[in-house]
A and B are shown apart, each in its own frame.
Chain A
Amino acid sequence: MKTIRGAVYVVQDDIDTDQIIPAQYLNLVPTIPEEYVKLGSYALCGLPDGYPPFVKPGATKADYTIIVGGRNFGCGSSREHAPVCLGAAGVNAVVAESYARIFFRNAVATGELYPFETAIRLCTIFKTGDVAEIDVNGAQLTNLTSNQSYSLKDLGAVAPVVEAGGIFAYARKAGIIK
């Protein structure tokens, strides 16, 4: 059983890719290892004032492993820098009510994180700093701080792609490409 466990960071609806990674940092190239790390340090720095910093000043990784969001997470640009910076910051999963199409696909194709969907509006239930655990195969999220469990939409064919580390790794494993 694969589980993801860690602190939760909560955001609301329509978190767009400019908030996830502002355009001024798109000069960083995700496939260059040191720039991948740098992208992590800027993850979610475009959120409006009022949100606590996602990555502490001077750090390259966040203290959070799971992001809980509302509707339409990752809307906007096709920049792959968005799921990449979250993965680089140490995020393993996002749990949201819905996703923008390109963000969801990029998250899976890169294998950077599991994009779970839920029918429950968890962004009004969870608090930043809560500790949670996701049972990936069982599609279950448990808030260990409040001891409440919530069911997630099964990721189906998407889970093994993320598990393998992205579409290329999966395709090789499955014998689709050499």
Chain B
Amino acid sequence: MGMTITEKILARAAGKRVIGPGDNVWVEVDILLTHDVCGPGTIGVFQREFGAAAKVWDPLKVVIIPDHYVFTQDEKAHRNIDSLRYFVDQQKLPYFYDPGTSRYKGVCHVALPEAGHVRPGEVIFGTDSHTCTHGALGAFATGIGNTDAGFIMGTGKLLIKVPKTMRFRVNGSVPPYIMGKDIILKIIGDIGFDGASYFAMEFTGEAIRQLSIEERMTICNMAIEAGGKNGIIEPDEKTFDYVRARTSLPFNAVYGDVDAPVDSERTYDASTLEPCVAEPHVPSHYALARERNDVKLDRAYIGSCTGGKITDFIAAARVLKGHQVTIPTFLVPATVEVAEALIKTEIDGTSLVEIFAVAGCEDIAPPSCAACLGGPPDTYGRTSGNEAVISTTNRNFPGRMGSKLSRIYLASPLTVAASAIRGHITDPREFM
């Protein structure tokens, strides 16, 4: 009997020929990712348990990307980044992307693959639930807490349960008004906010193959919003082109067996999907954008690991070009690479930066997680009252962007841009 891609990656990492769902296995870790919010606590656990003088198991496999609370006056946030600097120096860790230096990158889940740390077939753990993003490149990737991460720092291993697989086959051709965000919000709407709890979510089908790596990342990023352990897409030539442009390290791509049994399979036709939103306060509150024109908005937000990639800004600019926004529209590129691409990328001879400026958007903010998760009170774009926000981010929980009273509608960058022009939820087809 065959194994799925998730099972095969975990089998390799466990040094076993065959494993199956429900097996508890010790896996060798290829990359441990942490950031400024959970890194200090992880280091605290590591030093408490392995000793103040302990060395990490492999300095080349620990990647530290501060991104959450970077542009703030909060003293503890600064102290936390300082404590990472001290640890990195002490441990001689080469992969630290320090704020305030030319190495700074920004949001860890966009920076990690950009810097070549995500490779097909590998096992990645991160102290952030959106670590599932990296399954978009054919890796097994999932979020863990500080204690598990501290264990990995000391040993390079973790005991995990092999998840069952739910397969989502998306056939058909992806229309120009549909994005990865519409696909994943539809799936989460169907299976529910906890519909994939403990499961691997495997995305396949011709529509998925058509998507860019960045769009695939949007889909895998939100696997956690259905409770999934990991999201995963088999690698193809697009994956290899993306990875080889960013690292010279070798890797072994892994593919599922054709006869691998899965727990369930759902089939979608991308050509029949419509632009959508997730209404407050859970990502499974699916609604069609065209049926929510009555929802008036106070601001629009484009940013985060889910919706702050260059492809997201290109999509928004396609809609905004030649129009004016009527509500404050915040733009936060995920990384420095994305911010630079906003200057270099043009649509019909006009740069994205210029398109956004002419459309009346707020000045482009420096790359970080910013208001996606609220954060310290001085966080850029953070809500403070009962604002209705349409956002390309991943969560619309009460208080997620700061104020408990604000209401967050999740949508694709196309839908966010169209809605920013009208000032109410708008189907982007009105501008395409």
Contact = CB atoms under 8 A, between A and B. Distances in A.
Contact of B80 (A27, A46, A72): A27
Contact of A28 (B76, B146, B224): B76
Interface size class of A (residues with CB under 8 A): 35 or more
B235 interface: no
Contacts of A167: 147-148, 151
B68 interface: yes
Contacts of A18: 373-374, 395, 397-400
A98 B377 CA distance: 33
A32 to B, nearest CB: 7
A26 B37 contact: yes
A100 B283 CA distance: 15
Nearest to A80: B145
B128 A78 contact: yes
B44 A102 contact: no
Contacts of B376: 24, 27
Contact of B145 (A48, A78, A98, A177): A78
Contacts of B373: 18, 23, 77
B227 A75 contact: yes
B227 A100 contact: yes
Contacts of A77: 128-129, 143, 373
B397 A30 contact: no
| Residue among B127, B128, B129 facing the most chain A CB atoms (10 A cut-off) | B129
A14 B227 CA distance: 11
A110 interface: yes
B194 interface: yes
Contacts of B80: 27, 29
A111 B42 CA distance: 16
24 contacts: A14-B282, A18-B373, A18-B399, A22-B399, A23-B374, A26-B37, A29-B44, A31-B41, A31-B44, A31-B48, A47-B398, A48-B398, A48-B404, A72-B194, A78-B128, A78-B145, A80-B41, A80-B127, A80-B145, A83-B145, A102-B145, A110-B145, A168-B151, A177-B155
